[in-house]
Amino acid sequence: MAGKLIAGNWKMNGSVTFATELVEGLLGKLNEGSVSSDFVVCPPAALLGTVLSLTKDTDLAVGGQDCHANVSGAHTGDTSAELLKDIGCGYVITGHSERRTDHGETNVDVNAKSAAAIKAGLTPIICIGETEEERVSGGTLNVIKLQVTESLPDDCDPDNIVLAYEPVWAIGTGKTATPEDVADVHNFIRSLLNDRFGEDAAKKIRILYGGSVKPENAAELLAVSNVDGALVGGASLKVEDFWAIGVR
Ligand code: PGA
């Protein structure tokens, strides 16, 4: 596995001007010298064209925030994985908790979307994570096990999938899981992947942590065992903050 993967989920934020400034700022940083982390930005669909034209032939990768499970058809407002690939994306986030909540996406849906992404040649960043209620009731590991088992497509190549553990209660709240909590869940996820793919293959899968990651807590979180990167929301909207999470 290469360095850490630092993925920025812009969510429904930005404008052409904002995207241009942010991407130019990141490209300026990347041009200053080689860095050990890989960076990917996931802007809203309407800004993908703007971002892709700026990042062509650079080391800044681009991803969508969602894709449809079908290749094409009567699905107003949706974007296929094939189209994301066609315009130049390398990644797509699937199963983000906001999609699961706002759009009722189930593990079965996430599985189908992730399978479509893989088939199209994209790397899905498959999101899982427990709610506060599930954590308080002691159900975290059961929820994680079910999500990992059901959300990962049958024929996925460990080289080409990324998992993101994002405790729902930590997303956008400023609350972060403690390094101990993160270690427990990430080690557990790795053991599930070992069981499914075998250790050699499973260690190629990057497991990102997400939920209020910022420059102040990034070093501590990224040092936890089996944390191979971060999925960053709010702090990915500022060049300095996003950069500081991946490069210290
Ligand atoms: P946050 O979002 O960093 O703003 O908590 C993370 C995410 O939702 O991916």
**DSSP-assigned letters across all residues of 17-82:** HHHHHHHHHHHHHHHTS--SSEEEEE--GGGHHHHHHHHTTSS-EEEES--BSSSSSS-TT--BHH
The verdict on whether 96 is a catalytic residue reads: yes
135-139 mean pLDDT:
95
Give the per-residue pLDDT at 2: 67
Q: What is the mean pLDDT of residues 110-122?
A: 97
pLDDT, tens digit (0-9, with 9 covering 90-100), for 56-105? 999 999 999 999 999 999 999 999 999 999 999 999 999 999 999 999 99
**Per residue in 221-232, pLDDT tens?**
999 999 999 999
Q: Which residue reads 């210290």 in tokens? A: 248
Point out which residues pair with 92 in neighbouring strands: 64, 124
Once rounded to an integer, what is the mean pLDDT over residues 120-139?
A: 97
Q: Is 75 an annotated catalytic residue?
A: no
- Nearest C-alpha neighbor of 108 from the set 165, 163, 156, 147: 147
Tell me the average pLDDT across 41-67. Answer: 98
Residues 155-165: tens digit of each pLDDT: 888 999 999 99
Q: What is the pLDDT of residue 175?
A: 87
Ligand 1 pocket, residues with Cβ under 6 angstroms:
9, 166, 171-172, 210-213, 231-235
CA 175 to ligand 1 center in whole angstroms? 11
The dihedral through the CA atoms of 138, 141, 142, 148 has a sign that is positive
Long-range CB contacts (within 8 A, 24+) of 51-57: 51/19, 51/23, 52/87, 52/88, 52/89, 54/19, 54/20, 54/23, 54/24, 54/27, 55/23, 55/27, 56/88
200 Cα–ligand 1 center, Å: 30
Mean pLDDT over each residue of the chain, to the nearest integer? 96
pLDDT at 176: 85
> Ligand 1 pocket test: which of 212, 222, 236 has the largest number of ligand atoms within 8 Å of its C-beta?
212
